[in-house]
Structure 1
C-alpha cells in the first residue's frame, strides 16, 4: 500500500509518530495496516494478556502466545510485515501517571482501539490537553437493535456499530460531547432475592466479590432482605422459609481484614440437565461447567484471592477485573451456582465474561473494515485534509440507499460539554447531608465524571473521608473547583441539594 502513496504523502507518513491505544481486535488490524501503509514510528500500549478466546479474531496472536502481553506480541508480529518499522510496546494501563501530557505530545496522531469507556474518556482528555488529534474507534451500541457492529469517529471520531471518529480540538466534538448510554441497572431486591435472569446472578456475584475482597458498598449488599419478605416476592419468600440445609450454598472467608461471613440461603433448585465434563468439548471458557466444577473452581480461586488481598497490606482491597483470572473464575463459579439454585440457565465463562465486563462482541471482518477506515482518516489529518474527515457508521444491514458504510460530517463541539467547552462545568444534584467526601470522590468525581486523580478544594480528603458534605458548609448552590493534574483538566461543580435525589446535568 505504501508504494501507492505519492512522494509527499509517503514522506509525511514516514515522519509521523503514531500512538495506538489497545492491541485487541481492532488494534491488531490497525497495527498491520499502519506498518503496511509505511508508518515506521509507532508505539502501542495495552494492559491485557492474550486469552484463548481472542484467537478467532485477533490474528496477530497464536496459541503459543496465550498468557503473554498483547502489546508485546502484537509488536513482534506486526514488525514481520516491515522489519524496518520501529515499534515500541507498553504492557501497561494508559491511565497510569507515567503517561502524562508530555507523553502524548510526542505523537502526530493518537488512535484508540479500546473496549473500555473509562480509558476512552481518559485518552480523550489527554489529547485535548496535549492538543493532539485523536481518532476514536470501537464497537458501539447498535442503533437499530441489530447485533452490534463497529463505528468510527475523528477528533473524537465516531463510527457506528463499529465506530471510528476523530477529534481535532475546537473543530469537532470530543468523545464526551454527547452522553453515552448508561449501563443498565437492576433493583436491589431483584438482585438479592428474586433473580430471574443470568445477569442478575452475575451482578450478585460481582457484589459478593466486592464485599469479600473489595470496597464494601451498602448499595451492593448481597444478603436476602429478611426484614421485608414482601419485597422478595414469592420466590424470595420461598428462599427464606424453605428448610434448604442440603442445598444451601455457604461462602465463608475468614482471616486478615476479611473476617466476615456471607451466607446465601436458597430454595431447592429446579431440575436442569447439564453437560458433564466428558460431554463438553472445546476450550475451558466455552465449556459449560457442571455445578461440581463450579464448586471446585470456587474452592480453588478463593485462597488465591485471599493471598492477593493479604499482599495489599492492612486496609488494602482488590478491584474486580474481567482480565484477572482468579477474579473472573470467582464470578463465573458464584454466578452459576446462584443461577442453578434459582432455576436459571447457567452460562459459560466466556458468556459471563462478556456480560460482567460489558463487552460488545465484534467479528474479524468488521474489525478489519474499521481498522482500514482508521488509517484512511489518519492520512486525511496528517496531510491537512481535515475538512474531508468523516464519522463513519458500519451498519449490519444496508440503509435505504443500500449503503453499509455511512459517512457523516463531523459534528461541531457541544458548547455545553463539561470536558471540552471553554469553561467546563456540571451541576450535581445530591443530598449533602447523606453524601460523604469519600462518596463524592469515588462515586461521583471518579465514577461519574471520569477523573483519575482529582483534587477538590475541601480540607484533607483522607482524614475527612467519612464526613458528610454538609459538615464542610457545602449546601444548595455551593460551587466546588475540581482539578485533575494528570488529565490537565479543571471542572467547576455546582451542588444542588435535594433530599432523595442523585443526578447530574
Structure 2
C-alpha cells in the first residue's frame, strides 16, 4: 500500500514536471547549473532571460560557455548548449532586461514556476514583486563565495524577498571621494561614479535625497565643473584639457588648502608634457595583461587611448540624438570603459600616494564583483530543484529556507519557510486586474466611478504609477484619457487611502491594467468586485515601533505609510528612478548573501 502510494506520487510529480512551463531569470553561475539540472530533472519547457554578455572571467565556473562565446549573449548561448541535455525540450531565450515593459504581469502568469539567479538587488525585488502580484511561485537563490541560500516565495504562504530588511550598502562621503581619498576604492569610485558618469553618462545625475546637506555644495560644484569640461568634448585637444584639469589644476588647488594638506601627506600634481614624452616608449604588449599593475606612463597612455575612443563614440551619439538622450552607461565588460576607469583611478592614486591596482582588481571594485565558486553554484542549484518539487507536489509543509556554508560542523542549515510578515509593505498590498479601454476611459472614470462609487473610497486618495497621477490637491489629470497619462497594458496603479483616521484606512491597492475593448462606449471599463481590508491598527505594534525608533533599530516600519513616505521608500513598488548607484564594497564579515555576479 505504501509502495503504491509512493509510486503514484512519483507519477504525479513526473507528469507535473514535464508539463510545467518555467522561467529562469539569469544565465550566469547559478543559472548555468540550474538550467542543466532542470533539463535533467524532466522540465520540458524553460524560458531563459539575461541581459548580460559572456566575459572571460565567467569561463571558470559557467560551464555552458567557452572562449569562442566571449561577448555573445549569455541567454542565447546557454539555450544552444543546454539543449544537448534534452534535445526534445522547448527552450526559449531572451537577450533582454527582465524589467522591460513587455515582460508584464500577464507574461509572468504564463509560467508555473520562476527561478531567480540574479546578481543585483533591484532586479531581485522586481521579480519578487511581479511573482507576488501574478501569483506565481518563485524559487530565490544566491551565492557568495562558499556560502549560499535558497528561499521559496509563494504569495500568502511564505515571506517574500522584501519581508525582511536588507543591509544598507556601504557608502563613502562625497567630500572624501572628491578631496581626501586614502584608499584605492576611493579612487575607483571617483573614476567610475563621478568622472566617467559626468562626462559620458548624461542620464545619471545625483540623488540629492541620499546625501547630507553639507555634501550638496560639493555636488553642485562637481556637476558644474564637469559640465564645463564636457562642453569641449568635440575639441581635438579634449584629452589634454581634461587631464590638466583633473591631475594638475585641481591638484594644485587642493594642495594650497591648509586643511587638505594636514589630512593628506602626499599630493603630487602630474605634468601632461612629461608623461606625454615618456609614454611613447612603453611596451604595448605588457598592457594586454590585466593582472599587472601598470606604471604611471602606461596608465597615462591607456587614459588617452580609451578617452579618445569613448569621445568618438559619444560624439556619434550626439549626432544621432538630442543631448539628454546621449549616454554611454557604465559596463564592466566594455574594454574602453574599463580601461578609462582603471587608468583614471590609478593616476589619481599616484597623485595621492595610494597603492595602484591592476585592471583586474579595479574591475572587481568597479563592478562590485565578489568571486564565485562553481561548487557552491552547483549545490545551490540542486537545492532549488528539490524545493521546486515540493511546490509542484503542493507539499508546502516540506518547504525549507536553506543556508549553505563552509562550516565543518554544519554545512547546511535549514528552517521551515516563514509566514509573510504582516508589516511587509509588499505582502500587505491587495491586488486586482482592472479591465479598461485606455483609449476611451478617463482618470475621472477610475476615481469617481470605480474607486469612490464602486469600492467606497473617500475623496482623500492618491493614485500613483511611476509618478503621482492624482490626489485631492492634484486634479490636473482627471479629464485626461488614461493613455494620455502614460497608462498602458500591464501598468501598475497604486491606490493609497489618505483618510486622516488611520483606523479607517484601507490597505494599499495595486490595479494591474488589462487593456480591453468595450461595446458600451459610455462605460469603457469593468467594475471591481473586490473588498479592500482595513489596516490592522495595533497599539502594541505602534508602541514597539516607537521603542525601536528610539533605539535606532530600523528593523520594521509599522502601520501604513503615508503617500510621501511611500514615494520615498527604498522598497516601494514604484519604479523610482535612482539618480546615482550606491557605492558598494564587499564586506567579508557580512552574513547577507549576495547573488552570484555574472
Normalising by structure 2, we get a TM-score of 0.61
Paired positions, count:
407
1:208 paired with 2:195, answer yes
Q: Are the counterparts in 1 of residues 187 and 348 from structure 2 also a CA contact under 8 Å? A: yes
Equivalent residue runs for 1:380-391 within 5 Å: 380-391=390-401
1:350 deviates by 3.1
Q: 1:348 to 1:455 in 2, by over 3 A?
A: farther
Classify 1:278/1:235 alpha carbon distance in 2 versus 1 (closer, same or farther; 3 Å): farther
Does the alignment pair 1:417 with 2:407? no
Distance in 2 between residues matched to 1:351 and 1:323, nearest whole Å: 13
Q: Please give the alpha-carbon distance, in whole angstroms, between the structure 1 residues aligned to 2:141 and 2:424.
A: 20
**Match in the other structure for 2:341:** 331
Q: How much has 1:324 moved relative to structure 2? A: 4.2
3-state SS in 2 of match to 1:365: helix
Q: Does 1:138 align with 2:142?
A: yes
Deviates more, 1:415-424 or 1:113-122: 415-424
Q: Which has the higher helix share?
A: 2
2:4 matches 1:21: no
Q: How far did residue 298 of structure 1 move?
A: 3.3
* Structure 1 counterpart of 2:173: 187
Superposition map of 1:28-427 within 5 A: 28-139=32-143, 148-149=145-146, 161-205=147-191, 206-213=193-200, 214=202, 215-217=204-206, 220=219, 222=222, 229=257, 232-234=260-262, 239=267, 245=271, 284-289=289-294, 290-295=298-303, 296-308=305-317, 310-318=319-327, 319-398=329-408, 402-422=409-429
In the alignment, the residues of structure 2 paired with residue 183 and residue 212 of structure 1 have an alpha-carbon distance, to the nearest angstrom, of: 25
The 3-state SS of whatever aligns with 2:181 is: coil
Task: Classify 1:504/1:111 alpha carbon distance in 2 versus 1 (closer, same or farther; 3 Å).
Answer: closer
Deviation at 1:327, TM superposition (A): 3.3
Distance change in 2, residues 1:126/1:304 (3 Å): same
Gaps of 5+ in 1: 141-147, 150-160, 251-274, 425-450, 462-476
Higher strand residue share = 1
State the 1:363 CA deviation. 1.1
Structure 2, unmatched stretches of 5+, are 1-6, 207-215, 226-249, 277-281, 432-463, 478-500, 515-531, 533-559, 573-598
Q: Larger C-alpha radius of gyration, 1 or 2?
A: 2
Report which structure shows greater RCO (CA 8 Å, sep ≥6).
2
Matched residue SS, 1:177: coil
CA distance in 2, matches of 1:75, 1:503: 35
Residues 414-446 of structure 1 deviation map (CA, whole Å, 9 limit, x = unaligned): 22212221479xxxxxxxxxxxxxxxxxxxxxx
Instruction: Provide closer, same or farther for how the CA distance between residues 482 and 128 of structure 1 changes in structure 2, counting only shifts above 3 A.
Output: closer
Give the whole-Å Cα distance in 2 for the aligned partners of 1:238 and 1:279.
Answer: 28
- Counterpart of 1:262 in structure 2 is none
Structure 1 contact 291–336 (Cα < 8 Å) conserved: yes
Match among 6, 9, 26 for residue 10 of structure 2? 6
8 Å Cα contact 2:269/2:351 also seen in 1? no
The answer to whether the 8 Å contact 1:110/1:132 transfers is yes
Distance 1:341 1:26, change over 3 A: same
**Cα pair distance change 1:306/1:326, threshold 3 Å:** farther
d(CA) in 2 for partners of 1:130 and 1:503? 22
Q: Which whole-Å CA distance do the structure 1 matches of 2:428 and 2:273 have between them?
A: 57
